Amino acid sequence: MTTVFDDLHSEHVAIVDVRSPAEYLAGHIPGAVNIPLFSNEERAVVGTAYAKNGNQRAVEIGLEIVGPKLSLFVKQARALGKPLIIYCWRGGMRSASMCWLFQTAGMDVRTIPRGYKGYRAWGLSLIAKPWNLRVVCGRTGSGKTHYLHELASRGEQVLDLEGLAHHKGSSFGAIGLPPQPSTEHFMNLVTQQLQKFMVERTLWVEDESRNVGSVSVPEVLFNAMQRAPIEKLDVPRNLRVQNLVADYGQASRADLIAAFERLRRKLGGDRCNQAIEAVSAGDMATAAELALDYYDQTYDYCLTKRP
């Protein structure tokens, strides 16, 4: 029996988030279009009225704000050209009122049980399923991401956490990538990806720490990764240096120097200065060698901590 959650990532429906722009920005169902019932400022006004004068006065103020915008909401929703699935925070008054409006305008509309909060709970239950994980390990520069992409091209199930997080998981990890999502939205992206997969098949994932840049891997997934079998890539150091030069050689020298500065305490002052001088001179191979002195030692230590 299918549920509204099964249709969330179907190309045949449009998902509409009727929460405020700030709520949407913090995290939303991937692919959802924001048609906010209230702006950030309007939501604050209604919330203040509710706190001071109760529900009835808040509803009155809300109606005064929303009334002039009803036709715009209908035009925005109709322009999507598909049946709608709409949600607010808890499946309450905002989504119910917008659902009534769109149905009155003749559109095919459904709501999400318990709203965004219900979606988040469903997503966590999906992440917590007994996935048949296989974790790809390897020292920095081993080409773990390329290996995963090759597996995906052969039809394997691959969860690319670094790709979803827009970060490669090191001091250099954000270079050349878009801004990271919030941890909240990162979990939504993981949910979207897992919904495409089958639990009984092998699910490949790269070994990660609890945090990938500024976002956190869902705890239940991280713990499962720690218990999973590993596939270790054993790549000679000279090839790893070549890989790093290929990946970062065209990056901004200022960005590379800033990344080394963040490692100054761990690298040591002399090695950090040598690495910065190498970057400034365009000697990316020497810079990569110096970075590996630190990352290899860290990786070997972390590997000993795996069960």
| Active-site amino acid positions | 88
d(CA 151, CA 129): 22
Distances in whole angstroms, Cα of residue 25 to Cα of each of 19, 196, 289:
10, 24, 40
* CA gyration radius, the chain: 24
Please give the single-letter amino acid code of residue 38: F
Token pair for 229: 């079998």
Token pair for 269: 């002052």
d(CA 73, CA 32): 15
d(CA 13, CA 229): 38
Residue 43: which residues within 8 A CB-CB, separation 6 or more? 20, 22
